[in-house]
Structure 1
Amino acid sequence: MESRPGLLSASAVRRLATRLDLRPTKQRGQNFVTDANTVRRIVALAGVQPDDVVLEIGPGLGSLTLGLLEAAERVVAVEIDPLLAGALPDTVAERLPARSAALSVVEADALRVAELPYEPTRVVANLPYNVSVPVLLHLLATFESWQHGLVMVQAEVADRLAAGPGSKTYGIPSVKMAWYAATARVGTVPPSVFWPVPNVDSGLVSITRRPPPETTATREQVFAVIDAAFAQRRKMLRSALAGLAGSSAAASAALEAAGVDPQARGEVLDVTAYARIAEQLTVAAG
């Protein structure tokens, strides 16, 4: 490691990986940020405040962690890889010793983590490409204390998370995210700032939590309708929801009662419409 403290440079990232005998795996979506300016940009766009407790998923070698520790009160980092989880406190102690006590490392699978040592107020993460959407939905459902976030994901996923009804990229991730939060695509990150270099751009998505639609249906019931609607994307809703409703006629009746055209397709509806449909299907079943 170089003696100068602060954020990791590209050479420092490689030296640290060599010291740990680390071989990044595609299975865990390990692509580490090697550019300090990109880290500063992410922290700035995330709006991290001095009193924030930031939850970071997949801190890896600590590039973003160090930037967050410079700006936040505390960082809780969830890392599934035992090697990386064990090395992170040492990296912070070497590079940013005055802030090492502000780091908490949780060795866990982000898809299953249910408890944290501190309540997060903000999520900032470079999410693994292969599990980014389920991880994000899990964090929104499990830790209700965080109100704002910024995540870096594959560009295509960023477009889906932020898409609105009627767009080509609008789908299950778009609608389920809208249940929890308002989202916006706020930037692009080139492959060149990562090691190993991925073959796609990354996108930055801002997240601002908001109340879910007012409905008597549960989130699970609404999400079941969303899943069914997009399972057969090109089908009219009366056909796509026939399995849930019991028949095409029952689906049509529920859709009409919800104020939705039975011949519409799922890609044109917002999350509020899905909540109304779930409510009507629940009433009909009851």
Structure 2
Amino acid sequence: MSDTGLLNPASVRSIAHQIGLRPTKTRGQNFVHDANTVRRIVSLAQVSAQDRIIEIGPGLGSLTLGLLETGAHVVAIEIDEVLANQLPDTVFQRMPEAAHRLDVVVADALDVTTIPGAEPTALVANLPYNVAVPVLLHMLEICPQWRTGVVMVQSEVADRLVAAPGSKIYGVPSAKLAWYAEAVRVGSVPPTVFWPVPNVDSGLVRMTRRCPPQIDRRGPHATRSQVFRVVDAAFASRRKMLRSALAGLCGGSSAASALITAAGIDPTARGEALDIGDLARVAEALAQAGVLGSLDQV
């Protein structure tokens, strides 16, 4: 297959020069210029012509073009107005038959509350290193319709996102992502495929949406926000036992110990030993006691 429609190092630099772009670290701007890497991401995401894809931070359009090449529709969310304005022109010039399948939203992804148009089916993105985790969790929260996704993030972040309980790097990102989806690391990407070249490797994480963990009883369950309050408290200090970590929420370690025990969890356990189902049970016990507010349906 010809690469004439996709960007290469020369075309990336040419577009950047044309619009006077100087990539900034504050916005995590590192642009992919390798067609093989783009097609690898698209293949891992199993994108088809029936998909409507959310892309965060399209930048100069390398991944955008790869997604459009499949026949999919792309909603690209770009914070940089200059880049956002250039993207439709780049697509029209290099892949004119796909131009009508691109929608560009000029916004900070963290400020977006709805995705325009038809319901999206997937998220595929090279996420800016500096905001990758909050952006990913925000997109999972505001847009429950997308069922699968692949994101490229800093390698260390990729490892944290997919870490299992008991791991030294299991923490808040791991637990919160697990609330929404099953996540697996599906590859690595070297710095050399980016411009400018970052000083770290990147990792690819594939997600498959699933239902939040449910407690084995009838009636209402702890909400996402209630569970996430417990997650944040449980990991605020990794060395603390759960009864100490949650003491601030419960009015003391004795009260916390009783509520954690009622949830069927050892109060001397540490947060990093508990999966998202365990943490959800603790949240429900605290909510039942009025510690986290009233229970609502998830």
TM-score over 0.5 for the pair: yes
Q: TM-score, normalised by structure 1?
A: 0.97
In 1, Cα distance between equivalents of 2:202 and 2:52: 25
List per-residue Cα deviations over 1:228-257 (Å, max 9, x = no partner): 010011111110100011110011001111
Q: Is the 8 A contact 1:54 1:72 kept in 2?
A: no
Question: 1:1-286 residue pairs with structure 2 within 5 A?
Answer: 5-118=4-117, 119-215=119-215, 216-285=221-290
In 1, Cα distance between equivalents of 2:145 and 2:283: 27
- Residue correspondences, number: 283
Assess, with a 3 A threshold, how the Cα gap between structure 1 residues 165 and 72 changes in structure 2: closer, same or farther. farther
Instruction: Give the Å deviation of 1:214.
Output: 1.3
In 1, Cα distance between equivalents of 2:284 and 2:114: 32
Q: Is the 8 A contact 1:140 1:180 kept in 2?
A: yes
Q: Is the 8 A contact 1:13 1:34 kept in 2?
A: yes
Q: TM-score, normalised by structure 2?
A: 0.93
RMSD: 1.0
Q: Is the 8 A contact 2:47 2:72 kept in 1?
A: no
In 2, Cα distance between equivalents of 1:180 and 1:163: 15
List per-residue Cα deviations over 1:186-233 (Å, max 9, x = no partner): 000000000010000000000000000114111111000000010011
In 1, Cα distance between equivalents of 2:269 and 2:74: 45
Q: State the secondary structure of the residue aligned to 1:239.
A: helix
Instruction: Give the Å deviation of 1:71.
Output: 1.0
- AA aligned to 1:285 is G
Instruction: Give the Å deviation of 1:280.
Output: 0.7
Name segments (4+ residues, structure 1) moved above 4 Å: none
- AA aligned to 1:164 is A
Q: State the secondary structure of the residue aligned to 2:98.
A: helix
- AA aligned to 1:150 is V
- AA aligned to 2:211 is P
Q: Is the 8 A contact 2:30 2:196 kept in 1?
A: yes
Q: State the secondary structure of the residue aligned to 1:71.
A: coil
Q: State the secondary structure of the residue aligned to 1:132.
A: helix
Determine what percentage of the aligned residue pairs are the same residue.
65
